Amino acid sequence: MFIKITVFGGFVSDFAMKIENTPYYSKCTGRLADGCKYCVKGEKLVLFVTGICPRKCYYCPISDKKYGKDVIYANERPVEEGKNAVKQIIKEAEICDAKGAGFTGGDPLCKMNRTIKFIKALKKRFGKKFHIHLYTSFDLVNKKNLTKLFKAGLDEIRFHADIDNDKLWNRILIACKFNWDIGIEIPVVPDKVKQTKRLVDYFSDKIDFLNLNELEVADNKISRLAELGYMTKDRISYAVKGSEKAAIEMMKYVLAKKYKLNVHFCTAKLKDAVQLAKRLLRRAKNAAKEYDIVDDEGLLIRGALYYNGNLNLLRKKLMKEFDIPSEFIETDKERKRLLTTAAFADENKDILKKKGLKVAIVQEYPTWDRLQVVVDFL
Ligand code: SF4
């Protein structure tokens, strides 16, 4: 018998009958987990609770700046621990117009008090419907920790099970006692299909969904994928060759076994071209200043006037000389420049250069760190 399930707005699938392509460069059988539905629309705040983790996975994607360090990030924004942490996180959620948050790390369970505090604060500020999912391995799972998470309002929990070692797998039974969505989320290691099938056999009747992530190489010290001989599928991608093929084999296995399990194969392309891109667009809407142009990808296009002298004085002079309203020219002390419209910079470049300014049109991410993509000196 087929169970008809409507997935992401009218997209109908025969549950557990075939592998569907999603509109997000991924594949699924059945439905997407609720956390993923928000994620593919760029509606999730990525809350990195701590870089501390009890495990040392050979494929760990966490950067050296974060892995093993007790640091907090709300999207790209570093958050200082202490009284203001909650305020900073809420500010970032507001500026992105987030509808939920994904708690990640490291392992958020390494910092239980902090994790609980953040869940409660987000639910209090944005309401019960603000969807929160959390990633953890089984290492720190016990009844006490899961009870705290559930009572704080966690909606969905995703376990990163060890593919090679089943010692802690039965801790899933503790999670099954609570009324929340449970998933297993693992990277697909191309030569570990046999082990992954074993894992699926064990978990299939205990979880709501299985998320298979395309394995990616990372430019960090902890990942050993390159030295173990794993190669990327092409020059421009971080995705590992063979991971997609193995994921499809896993999905076929789930179908053949008739497991009533929602499976989502999440590709490297989904993370970049969908999740991140849509989150950037949402943030750009609120982060853009009067003088910015927001392009189709959410990049901010702005005029930049670099100057080593007194920027505030220069700003006042230019406002007077060119009759510029105050909201169209701003001081950026950190990068020693004034920001204004690209049109103003372009039209007046010769006069401005005679005043000793370096004039450029820049393209920057609308993120906290304002990553510069293009600096075009005129
Ligand atoms: S992949 Fe996750 S569980 Fe494994 S070491 Fe990295 S942060 Fe820890």
* Residue, of 239 and 15, whose pLDDT is higher: 239
How does pLDDT run across 50-59, given as a tens digit for each residue?
A: 999 999 999 9
Q: What is the mean pLDDT of residues 6-29?
A: 67
Query: Which of 24-33, 100-109, 145-154 is predicted least confidently?
Result: 24-33
Q: How remote is the CA of residue 285 from the centroid of ligand 1, in Å?
A: 33
Question: Could you tell me which CATH number the domain at 4-283 has?
Answer: 3.20.20.70
Q: Which atom of ligand 1 is nearest to the CA of 106?
A: 7
CB distance 151 to ligand 1 below 6 Å: no
- Dihedral of the alpha carbons of 209, 214, 217, 221, in degrees to the nearest 10: 0
Q: What percent of the chain has pLDDT over 70?
A: 96
3-class state of residue 189 by DSSP: coil
CB distance 110 to ligand 1 below 6 Å: no
pLDDT score of 242 more than 80: yes
- By the 8 A CB rule, do 345 and 378 touch? yes
CB distance 18 to ligand 1 below 6 Å: no
Task: Show the CA angle centred on residue 373, arms to residues 275 and 276, nearest 5°.
Answer: 5
Where in the chain are all domains bearing CATH 3.20.20.70?
4-283
pLDDT score of 16 more than 70: no
pLDDT score of 7 more than 60: no
**Packing angle between helix 243-256 and helix 193-203, nearest 10 degrees?**
40
CB distance 160 to ligand 1 below 6 Å: yes
**Packing angle between helix 277-287 and helix 85-95, nearest 10 degrees?**
100
Q: 245: how many CB neighbours lie within 10 A of its CB?
A: 13
The residues with which 303 forms a beta bridge, in sequence order, are: 340, 361
CB distance 250 to ligand 1 below 6 Å: no
**Rg of the chain, C-alpha, whole Å:** 24
Entry pTM: 0.88
Tokens of 84: 């203001």
Q: How do beta strands 100-105 and 44-50 pair?
A: parallel
| Minimal-distance CA residue to ligand 1 atom 3 | 55
Nearest alpha carbon to residue 164 among 228, 232, 226 = 228
Q: 147: how many CB neighbours lie within 10 A of its CB?
A: 13
How does pLDDT run across 252-307, given as a tens digit for each residue?
A: 999 999 999 999 999 988 888 888 889 999 999 999 999 999 998 899 999 999 99
* Residue, of 95 and 83, whose pLDDT is higher: 95
pLDDT at 1: 31
Q: How remote is the CA of residue 103 from the centroid of ligand 1, in Å?
A: 13
pLDDT score of 5 more than 60: no
From 46, 50, 53, 136, mutation site for ligand 1 pocket: most ligand atoms within 8 A of C-beta: 53
The sheet with strand 27-29 has its strands ordered as 20-21, 27-29, 262-266, 209-214, 181-188, 156-159, 131-136, 100-105, 44-50, 72-74, 77-79
Tokens of 327: 């909201």
pLDDT at 235: 83
pLDDT at 11: 38
pLDDT at 275: 86
CB distance 57 to ligand 1 below 6 Å: yes
Q: How remote is the CA of residue 81 from the centroid of ligand 1, in Å?
A: 22
Q: Which atom of ligand 1 is nearest to the CA of 135?
A: 2
